Amino acid sequence: MSGVLFSFEGIDGAGKTTQVALLSQALEERGHRVVCLREPGGTPLGEKIRGLLLDRTEDPPSPVAELLLFAAARAQIVATRIRPELEAGSVVILDRFTDATFAYQGYGRGLPLDQILSLEGIASGIEPRRTWYLDLDSEESNRRRTLRGEAPDRLESEGDTFRDRVRAGYLERARSRPARFHVVDASQSVASIATRILQEALSLL
């Protein structure tokens, strides 16, 4: 495959969507064809699954159902969007990917990590060339989300201890996959984060 896959990770409000947009714009200005996709979603089926996962409901998915819904959405976006774009030579930038499942369903929900790792192979089978994990504490995450003023979705309305476990999951990923998974201090300014990430991205293209 001639394209390159990048992903952004981090808890709510860490700045993923902000940085995806900036990186995408900077790479397009340099002549790259860039496709940005969000997880879960990015396909008509995936967007429906996104609703099932994130809407507040009286009948929320059990932890295992949640894991499998994320996996189904991922299998769809990998098959119908990510692989074809990479084969066509695009730079594909993902707003969350497999590391989020490890952090949220593994560390956050406490599902067995070996099962999550084997699902990665089934649902995805591809790894980003580089993942930027925007590391933020739950206090600052809450502050930014309050500023944004949107009603929290089902996963966002989990408490601080859940987010702290998710953060520990992401940091474990950084320890076990240091070449791919880079930790960025998300409390820095938007511009300085974007500058560092663009330099790294350009060095990989």
Ligand X SMILES: Nc1ncnc2c1ncn2[C@@H]1O[C@H](COP(=O)(O)OP(=O)(O)OP(=O)(O)O)[C@@H](O)[C@H]1O
**Residue reference for tokens 């819904």:** 69
| Partner from ligand X, Mg ion, none binding residue 148, C-beta < 5-8 Å depending on class | ligand X
Nearer to Mg ion, 38 or 74 (CB): 38
Nearer to ligand X, 9 or 120 (CB): 9
| Partner from Mg ion, ligand X, none binding residue 86, C-beta < 5-8 Å depending on class | none
Copy the structure tokens of residue 164: 């702290």
Nearer to ligand X, 2 or 189 (CB): 189
Nearest residue to ligand X, scored by beta-carbon proximity: 15
Nearer to ligand X, 86 or 173 (CB): 173
Least distance in Å: CB of 95 to Mg ion?
6
User: In the chain, where do the E strands start and end?
Assistant: 4-9, 34-38, 91-95, 130-135, 181-185
3 state DSSP class of 57: coil
| Partner from ligand X, Mg ion, none binding residue 14, C-beta < 5-8 Å depending on class | ligand X
Backbone angles phi and psi of 58, in degrees to 5: -75, -15
Q: Which residues contact 50 (CB under 8 A, 6 or more apart)?
A: 40, 41, 73
Radius of gyration of the chain (CA): 16
Interface residues with ligand X (CB under 6 A) are 10, 12-18, 144, 147-148, 186, 188-190, 193
